[in-house]
Amino acid sequence: MDQYQEYTLEDFVLDARFQGWVRHRGAADAVFWQQYLDENPAQAEDIQSARKLLDRVYRHYRTDIDEAEIDLEIQGLLERVRAEKRQMGGRRMEEREDGRWEPGIVSESGVVIESEIESGVVEEVGRVVPLRRPWHAGIWVKVAACAVLVIGLGWVGWQYYCFNCGYNGLVSGKELVERVNTSEKQQVIKLTDGTQVVLYPQSRLSFAETFPADQRTVYLSGDAYFQVAKDPKRPFLVHTTDLVTKVLGTSFFVRARDASDKTLVEVREGKVSVFKQKEFAARRNVQSKMPNGMVLTPNQKLIFEHASSEMRRTLSDNPEIVPSDNPKTFEFVNAPASSVLTDIEEAYQIDIIFDRDVMKGCPVTASLAGQPMFSKLSILCEVIEARYEVLDGKVVIYSKGCKS
Amino acid sequence: MQSHPENNADDADLWKLFRAGDDEAFGQIARHYYKSLFSYGSKFSRDREFVKDCIQDLFMELWAKRETIGDTAFVKFYLLKSLRRKIYRESQRQQWISEGEELDFSAQAIGDASIEEHIIEIETNEAMLKTLNQQINLLTRRQQEVIYLRFFESMDNEAIAQVMGISRPAVANLLYRTIQELKDRL
């Protein structure tokens, strides 16, 4: 969704996905854009105006042709094509005069007679019948089509995409218990192995009533936070439409909304490996090597983009200090910048890449306690005239060293 | 061109069958593009039967050329462009327009609304709908065609430029101006 952050009215009206929403009013798009609006209220005005503008254009140029009319045209077209084919076929037949083609000739000629009659009729029907059709027939056809459409949309809205894809496809045919959070509040679910799951609103979680001896598998659609009970012998697996997250004992967050084009895994404690659902499934079927998973450590976040089918690793938006026995104070008086960075690394358990020798020469006096991690980094960088970047779930510090 | 969701594996198979002379596959392909073509074509002429005939002829030409057609990624774009040319030539032949004259994109009948349209008009504000029609009619025919291709067919500027036979910067410029004008009249 990040791509839309900088969008103005002009960008929205030119965006294919936005256009699709205004034009077709699909349930999946509606969910996506409603969610986007909720998360980005500052863009509400542009979005509403863009929607209004597009809606006017779509209404203005609406074309009135019904499916039956198109079907007749296609039928007519096929008659012409078949007539042409017969001509060609007939010519070939004359050239060959081959007895073995007999069955072919029979069926071909059978079609010839039939379609010659038909094509005459179709010519007539195609042009005349729509006009002669009683007026009420037209209305009823349209009313019926509308009703089907409304029912269809309602159903799609509930199922999001389709019955056998995504989450529904994952859980179908398995004996599972399902918990659905239809409330407005988060729900805590305790699994038999001691794992706690915070299930967010509009999310569903399925799992076996008792886990087998070798693994613990759950299926998620929506958002959930997992605090997994340690059990090294039984890995804990979270299956979502696009990804499989595998853990031994840890806390992490998964966002896998079926209507969204992204899946997100965010780690608070411990380590998890994430695999693409497709590759994970393939490995199980063909006993091949371990698929190429991506390992996530605390405060790292993985984003899977459905469109590109790629996994991207970055840092959480707001990394949190990992609980430890000797917490850092983040009070520095004339401390070398390198030791500030090391403290941040240890407290948040993230990797910071910097030149230790260059950083030794930069003394820092600062009180960074209580600041979010990225603020700590910004303040430090300002003090030592450096800048930082987040790359592949790590922080990189660029500095030319200090003059003093 | 923007991504074409319709060009998936099934479509490639369908296309292969069509090129091998399978008329069922051809029918499916024609069905797939028919509505787009008719919608676009009917903006140039009020005569529905004329537009339908042009589309029929267009598909017959496609059928005749099936063995030599290569790239399937731009089918829709190729068809729209060909239809535009065909309507232009036919109109010239039937002497609706004279040599050098351009096609009028906004030729569609606005007065004779269908039943469906009437229902919508009752539901929404009739007066509002009328002013909106007037506003869009204030745009030049090129402006109208550009926003049509962009909003209805999601074509990019390059493709629009090719279909309309004008330069890409001209399309970008027209598009920008048109959106500004429509925005100001919101």
The percentage of chain B sitting over the pLDDT mark of 70, rounded to a whole number, equals 73
Shared domain check, B64 and B31: yes
**H or E element in which residue A39 lies:** helix A27-39
Q: Do B151 and A57 touch (CB under 8 A)?
A: yes
Is the confidence at residue B37, as pLDDT, over 90?
yes
Task: Please determine, for residue B106, whether its predicted confidence score (pLDDT) is greater than 70.
Answer: no
Same domain membership, residue A178 and residue A125: no
- CA A168 – CA A161 distance, rounded (Å): 10
Would you call A63 and B34 a contact, using CB atoms and an 8 Å cutoff? no
Q: Report the CATH number that the domain containing residue B32 is assigned in CATH.
A: 1.10.1740.10
Minimum CA–CA partner of B18 in chain A: A81
Tell me, yes or no, whether A141 lies in a domain: yes
- The helix, strand and coil proportions of chain A, stated in percent and rounded to the nearest 5, come to 45, 25, 30
The reply to whether A153 falls in a domain is: no
A159 in a structural domain: no
Is B136 in CB contact (< 8 Å) with chain A? yes
Q: Are residues B79 and B159 in the same domain?
A: no
Statement to judge: residues B164 and B186 lie in one domain: yes
Q: Which domain holds residue B43?
A: 1-101
- In this structure, the answer to whether residues A264 and A379 fall within a common structural domain is no
Pick from A315, A344, A376: which residue ends a domain? Answer: A315
For residue B107, is it within any domain? no
Instruction: Decide if A277 contacts A244 (C-beta within 8 A).
Output: yes
Number of domains in chain A: 4
Going by the DSSP 8-state scheme, the letter that residue A189 receives in this structure is: E
Check if the beta carbon of residue B152 is closer than 8 Å to that of residue B42.
no
Q: Are residues B117 and B75 in the same domain?
A: no
B38 part of a folded domain: yes
Looking only at the bridges linking them, the beta strands covering A352-353 and A394-398 are parallel
Number of domains chain B contains: 2
Nearest CA of chain B to the CA of A102: how many Å?
A: 21
Instruction: Residue A248: name the closest of A263, A270, A281, A267 by CA.
Output: A270
Torsion sign across C-alpha atoms A274, A279, A283, A285: positive
Question: Does a structural domain hold residue A378?
Answer: yes
Domain boundary among A315, A348, A381: A315
Residue B121 belongs to a domain: yes
Cross-chain residue pair B60–A80, CB shorter than 8 Å: yes
Do B2 and B93 fall within a single domain?
Answer: yes
Query: How far is C-alpha B185 from the chain's CA centre?
Result: 25
- Is there a single domain that holds both residue B62 and residue B133? no
Same domain (yes/no): A175, A55: no
Per-residue pLDDT tens over the stretch A116-171: 223 323 333 333 333 333 333 334 433 333 333 333 333 333 334 445 567 887 88
Closest CA to A77 of B90, B27, B50: B27
Q: Are B83 and B40 part of one and the same domain?
A: yes
Shared domain for B92 and B130, answered yes or no, is no
Residues A199 and A299 in one domain: yes
| Domain match, B184 and B129 both | yes
CA A8 to chain centre: 23
Backbone angles phi, psi at A196, to 5 degrees: -110, 135
Establish if A102 belongs to a structural domain.
yes
CATH code, domain carrying A298 = 2.60.120.1440
What are the angstrom distances between the C-alpha of B3 and each of A25, A242, B153, B157? Answer: 20, 21, 11, 14
Q: Are residues A60 and B132, on separate chains, in Cβ contact within 8 Å?
A: yes
A127 interaction partners in chain B (CB closer than 8 Å): 49
CB A205 within 8 A of CB A178: yes
Q: What is d(CA A350, CA A341) in angstroms, rounded to the nearest whole number?
A: 10
Q: Say if residue B45's pLDDT is above 90.
A: no
Q: Are residues B91 and B12 in the same domain?
A: yes
User: Which pLDDT value is given to residue A286?
Assistant: 47
Q: Is the pLDDT of residue B115 over 80?
A: no
Q: Are residues A53 and A86 in the same domain?
A: no
Q: Say yes or no: B11 and B36 in one domain.
A: yes
List the one residue out of A159, A156, A160 whose CA is nearest residue A148: A156
In terms of domains, do B84 and B136 share one? no
Q: Note whether residue B6 is domain-resident.
A: yes
Q: Which of A169-173, B34-38, B86-90, B151-155 has the lowest mean pLDDT?
A: A169-173
Same domain, A15 and A100: no
Q: Is residue B106 part of a domain?
A: no
Look over chain B and give the mean of its residue pLDDT values, rounded to a whole number: 77
Same domain? For A181 and A289 the reply is: yes
Q: Which residues of A touch B176 (CB under 8 A)?
A: 10
Residues A132 and A257 in one domain: no
Q: What is the mean pLDDT of the segment spanning B47-53?
A: 87
* Within a domain: B46: yes
- Which of B101, B121, B140 is at the close of a domain? B101
For residues A50 and A72, state if they share a domain. no
Measure A339 CA to nearest chain B CA, in Å. 50
Which of A57, A119, A131 to substitute to test the interface with B, most B CBs within 10 Å? A57
Rounded average pLDDT over B58-70:
86
Q: Which residue of A has its CA nearest to B153?
A: A16
CA B83 to chain CA centroid, Å, is 8
Contacts of residue A49 in chain B, CB cutoff 8 Å? Answer: 183, 186
Mind telling me how many Å the CA of B154 is from chain A's nearest CA? 6
A60–B133: do the CB atoms touch at under 8 Å?
yes
In a domain, A154, yes or no: no
Asked if A350 and A311 sit in the same domain, the reply is no
ipTM of the complex: 0.78
B30 belongs to a structural domain: yes
pLDDT beyond 60 at B146: yes
> Nearest-CA distance from B67 to chain A in Å?
14
Between residues B113 and A40, the one the model is more confident about = A40
Q: What CATH number corresponds to the domain at position A342? A: 3.55.50.30
The last residue of a domain, from among B101, B134, B153: B101
Domain holding A31, by residue range, is 2-60
Among candidates B90, B109, B94, which has minimal Cα distance to B42?
B109
Assess whether A182 and A310 both reside in one domain.
yes
Give me the CATH number covering residue B160: 1.10.10.10
Beta-strand relationship, A216-227 and A187-190:
unpaired
Boundary (domain end) residue, out of A315, A347, A366: A315
Residues of chain A with pLDDT under 70: 1-2, 89-165, 248-249, 282-292, 403-404
Q: Does B129 touch chain A (CB under 8 A)?
A: yes
What band does B182 get if pLDDT is binned at 50, 70 and 90?
Answer: confident
Q: How far apart are CA A20 and CA A43, in angstroms?
A: 19
Q: Chain B contacts of A14, Cβ < 8 Å? A: 150, 175, 179
* Residues A297, A226 within the same domain: yes
Q: DSSP letters of A202-264?
A: TEEEEE-SS--SS-EEEEEEEEEEEEPPP-TTS-EEEE-SSEEEEESS-EEEEEE-TTSSEEE
The pLDDT assigned to B54 comes to 92
Cα–Cα distance, A233 to A248 (Å, whole number): 8
Give CA–CA dist A315/A395, Å, rounded.
8
A223: which residues sit within 8 A by CB, 6+ positions away?
A199, A200, A203, A253, A254, A255, A256, A257
